[in-house]
Amino acid sequence: MTDTPPAFILVRPQMGENIGAAARSMLNFGLDHMRVVAPRDGWPNERAVALASGAGRVLDAAMLAQDTGAAVGDCSFVFATTARDRDLTKPVYSPEAAMAEARARGLRGERVAILFGPERTGLENDDIALANAIVSVPTNPAFASLNLAQCVLLIAYEWRRACAAQVPVSTAMAGTEWATQAEVSALSEHFERTLDTAGFFWPEGKAPAMKRHLRNLWSRLPLTRADVQTFHGMMRQMVRWKERG
């Protein structure tokens, strides 16, 4: 299956530090195709290398372009990231929807590009006019401007989500496994026997309901085998302590 990842195009970036941080963000999420349009401080940029922190290969392979048109020339679909209303009629995608579209097109072998504007002003209308669609991040309307590297990180994260199914919640088992029903039942019986000996189930008429409540409690707990062993050990130690007393 053909899989063409998108190109992240930094248009007229002003700070080398942001270029380096953007490269690091891209590589964090499996992207390495960067293009840089007319960087203010020239190219290559030592500050970008310093901030890339292990992602220098993204900078080494980055394409340098003199203008936005040249940077997107080989792309079949272009997204422009902008937080401001523009006097241009274009479809507006959420970051999630945009990267899902980029993924679908990439699987067909198409080259998709995402434009990111300079830190101070963002993309100009002439840049956005070259794009097929806009990506709009749902930021605070009273403070909508994102740092360049932050915006790259956010879009790269959505790209990664589009590429790999993510489990919403998982549990790190720390070398153990979930307890079986038989193991939980044995634990419940251990507690019932010990508590019965200690006179916990009183008065006698309420004992069946109390035991049922206790069994229900154990069944609700997500116990691991290590948890079960710990509870058994606690109960045995309390009995030994009582016997020594």
Q: 216 Cβ partners below 8 Å, 6+ apart?
A: none
Query: What pLDDT was estimated at residue 245?
Result: 63
Q: What is the pLDDT of residues 182-206, one digit of tens each?
A: 999 999 999 999 999 989 999 989 9
Q: What is the mean pLDDT of residues 114-131?
A: 93
Distance CA 65, CA 152 (A): 19
Considering only the C-alpha atoms of the chain, give the largest distance between any 2 of them, rounded to a whole number of Å: 88
Return the higher-pLDDT residue of 172 and 73: 73
Distance CA 127, CA 137 (A): 18
Query: What pLDDT was estimated at residue 37?
Result: 97
Q: Residue 194: what are its φ and ψ, rounded to 5°?
A: -70, -45
Residues 106 and 198 in one domain: no
Return the higher-pLDDT residue of 167 and 78: 78
Residues 12 and 124 in one domain: yes
Which residues on neighbouring strands pair with residue 135, listed in sequence order?
81, 93
Residues 194 and 155 in one domain: no
**End position of a domain, from candidates 137, 163, 189:** 163
The parent domain of residue 187 ranges over: 181-244
H/E run at residue 37:
strand 34-37
Kindly tell me if the per-residue pLDDT of 210 is higher than 70.
yes
Residues 54 and 139 in one domain: yes
CB burial of residue 214 (10 Å; 0-12, 13-18, 19+): middle
Q: What is the pLDDT of residues 128-151, one digit of tens each?
A: 999 999 999 988 888 888 899 999
Query: What pLDDT was estimated at residue 2?
Result: 67
Residues 189 and 144 in one domain: no
Distance CA 207, CA 212 (A): 9
Query: Residue 224 in 3-state DSSP?
Result: strand
Q: What is the mean pLDDT of residues 227-232?
A: 93
Distance CA 84, CA 241 (A): 70
Residues 16 and 99 in one domain: yes
Distance CA 226, CA 229 (A): 5
pLDDT-wise least confident of 57-61, 170-174, 215-219? 170-174
Query: What pLDDT was estimated at residue 168?
Result: 76
Structural domains of the chain, count: 2
Query: What pLDDT was estimated at residue 130?
Result: 96
For residue 73, what are the CA distances in angstroms to 131, 190, 219? 11, 73, 62
Q: What is the pLDDT of residues 64-117, one digit of tens each?
A: 999 999 999 999 999 999 877 667 889 999 999 999 999 999 999 999 999 999
pLDDT-wise least confident of 41-45, 46-50, 168-172? 168-172
Query: What pLDDT was estimated at residue 1?
Result: 52
Residues 80 and 153 in one domain: yes
Please provide the average confidence, as pLDDT, over all residues in the chain: 92
Distance CA 239, CA 80 (A): 69
Q: What is the mean pLDDT of residues 212-227?
A: 92
- pLDDT band for position 239 (cuts 50, 70, 90): confident
The 10 Å Cβ neighbour count of residue 18 is 23
Query: What pLDDT was estimated at residue 85?
Result: 67
Q: What is the pLDDT of residues 18-29, one digit of tens each?
A: 999 999 999 999
Quick check: is 168 in a domain? Answer: no
Residues 205 and 98 in one domain: no
Q: Are 46 and 16 in contact (CB under 8 A)?
A: yes
Residues 128 and 71 in one domain: yes
Quick check: is 221 in a domain? Answer: yes
Per the listing, tokens 């995402």 go with 114
For residue 54, what are the CA distances in angstroms to 58, 151, 158, 228? 9, 20, 22, 44
Query: What pLDDT was estimated at residue 79?
Result: 98
Quick check: is 1 in a domain? Answer: no
H/E run at residue 189:
helix 181-197
CATH number, domain with residue 21:
3.40.1280.10
Give percent above pLDDT 70 in the chain: 97
Q: What is the mean pLDDT of residues 120-124?
A: 88
Query: What pLDDT was estimated at residue 29?
Result: 96
